[in-house]
Structure 1
Amino acid sequence: MTRRAGSADLPLHGGRVPAWLGQRMTQLGVVITEAIVHHYGRDEFLRRLSHPFWFQSFGSVMGMDWHSSGVTTSVVGALKRGLTPLAGELGLHVCGGRGKQSRLTPGELIAVGARVGFDATALAATSRLIAKVDSAAVQDGFDLYLHSFIVTDDGRWTVVQQGMNGDLRQARRYHWLSEGLTSFIDDPHSAIDGETGGAIVNLADRRAAASRDAQLDLLRTTSPDRIAAEALALEPRAETPVTATDQLTLPHLALPERHEVRAGDVIARRLQGAIAAAAERGPEDFADVLATPGVGARTVRALALVAEVVHGAPCRFSDPARFSFAHGGKDRHPFPVPTRVYDETIRVLKAAVSNARLGRDERLEALARLDRESRRLEAVVEGPSVDDVLRDERSLSHAYGGRSTFGWEPEPADQACAVGSTITGGGPRS
């Protein structure tokens, strides 16, 4: 994954994650983290967190609203709750958070450093400096309200922080990665997520070096009164302002304000590949899961999307809405959270990770095969449309233990609508 990973528009949404979902997000976030660390190591997990497309997909597969700024807060909170008790085992420490928690980050880093031995004073200074860069050196109209510092035992780190613009009803997420970082003021970000809101003053861009030098020289040689007078004398210029696009040429993910998931939000062939792989690999690799009446086959499809979060290449996370088809969303978009499926997913993953700790990798390898099969089949299968999948999920929601912020899904009035699901596999494409 590259350090400069891209940008995204994130609608600013209020509300809280209900406890029944937050607890599941914590469990699933931890076990996905453990699987990534087991397969690829801690440094790779930091790289994943610094990739804005993967980060949004990670939140989506955990049942959070697929497009919302709340993904940042909920993912960071889930990881902090879940990884803190495992810090000694995994060597991963999540510091900071939202609001008042963000200001506690330096102290938390110092406490962790005292236990594991890295230079905590330097990292605490780094934390403060990063917050200053994104609040002062990058003047884009977004006020920081979340700062999270994820650090390993050997002092490598990723920072995820987010600002809001109340007038635009937008949030912007900033990603930093210590790997390859040589300067805090010359293109330090791994990515910036957010809407382009006009002219941006980005003094952290390397092309702003001359401007930074001129400002320092002005401060050294000119009185404050003279500076103020010169500023008042300036008139608007006709030239086109330097925008975020000029300063940060990054891949761009635009997440809409609307809540519903539409067919255009999902790369259909990838979803069809996951459905077909679940149908083909499930009976062979997950026989015990399929023995659970009414849930097993659907759980394997969720596992196919989780497996991609663990093993997928960066280019495969351009449609984070697709990952919400694993466990839905708390506000019923794309469909209510299927709690029975969610719990079964967690159970299977926990068992796989527990066995892997004992040297038995068969179940984790089954997930890897599921991911490989999804990618192979997506080029040759013709499965149900996105709209067909949505219709079936909603009709079967009660049977799956569907739940949202609006409550439990009621039993369908016409039971026939829940019979003959189309999301079973799909045939070869012509």
Structure 2
Amino acid sequence: MEPDKDSATLHDRHRAVMPTWLATYYDEPLELVAGNGRHVTGGDGRTYLDFFGGLLATMIGHNIPEITEALQRQAGKLLHSSTLYLIRSQVELAEKIAAKAPIDNPKVFFVNSGSEAVETAFLLTTTARRSNQVIALRGSYHGRSFGTVAATGIRGWSASSLSPLNVTYAHSGYKYRSPFSDLDDHAYIAACKDELRTMIQTSTSGDIACYIAEPIQGAGGFATPPDGFFLAMKEVLDEYDVPYVSDEVQSAWGRTGRSYFGIEHYGVRPQAITFAKGLANGISIGGVVAESDLMDCLTANSISTAGGNPIAMTAANAVLDYIESNDLQENAHRVGQILFDGLTTLASNNPLIGEVRGSGLMLGVELVHPGTRTPATAETDIVLAECRAAGMLIGKGGLAGNVLRVTPPMTVTESEAHSALGILEDVLAKVSATHSL
């Protein structure tokens, strides 16, 4: 029997009509009804400091006048077209992305989400190489669609063994839990490089569609490789002429603080980059920027009904202009360093923290049972709930769901960063003292 809408909570109604596998945070999930800057208002009437940013999609904050006004102007003109017609804002956005992308002779194709962006990259690379063999990384997350689930290296997000791809999972930059964790960075990179070559020689036919990697793994717990890691992997890939796809759904547009696209920091020029999420500050968007020969390899006609639509394109153009005019990459670097240093100080005083990692405003805090590397999964959920009670929203990730994800919008202020650190210090101290670890 369906619950009475007048008496049922929104959570009751949600459970009655939504799938059981649609994850929500907290025992009593939170409805967000409004936002301003880096704060959101919940259906409970409380205001929260938003340090998760719509799962990194609310990249420059809530209710930003420049974005809202641009959307209002476009909505008063035209809501929808399709790629069968010329769309000026789509061309303008593609020009901006192509000008910034570390890709030779780039072309751009727009879709509606990160999953669809990665699917497009797989379509291009498997077609160009006439192979369904893909190398992905352990701990990777590339989406919820059939092909992207096939390349996802996290058991908790991979629902099916059925796959259109033949995937080999290589070592990632997640050194903390690697079998090579005792090595220094130089030796670690060398070991992973040797293993990648061995995997290609023993687990593939050698004719590989692509290697796909997130510069900083998102759902994998913000695993951040040592400098030089991906450049070393690229040297092996070049030996076998394997195209490199950088999955930048979470790491693009300067969020890492150290480069506009995350892969640039590692000195790699990939053949394709996927993007989505924060580009339109929460409006559905995605896309691929790729070398023209790769982008043009398809021999059948194709269109996109909603990819490149005027609303999303207008929002994205306004977002990129806002990032540039307000120097938000520098802000991500500066405020991100305050957060990183503060979290590192907390780690030195709280044995619940195993490692702090990330870059810019993509920071992960891995929680473990003190004196071990055993994931403190239950305690992570408690920390999320206690942060909510204290007025702050953060996320979680990691192979065991034991990594706090600290990802405020790129407009975050130093004052807000210090407020967040104060809340985390109190919450982590409380959880460490009151829960058996």
TM-score, normalized by length of structure 1?
0.26
Structure with bigger gyration radius: 1
TM-score, normalized by length of structure 2?
0.26
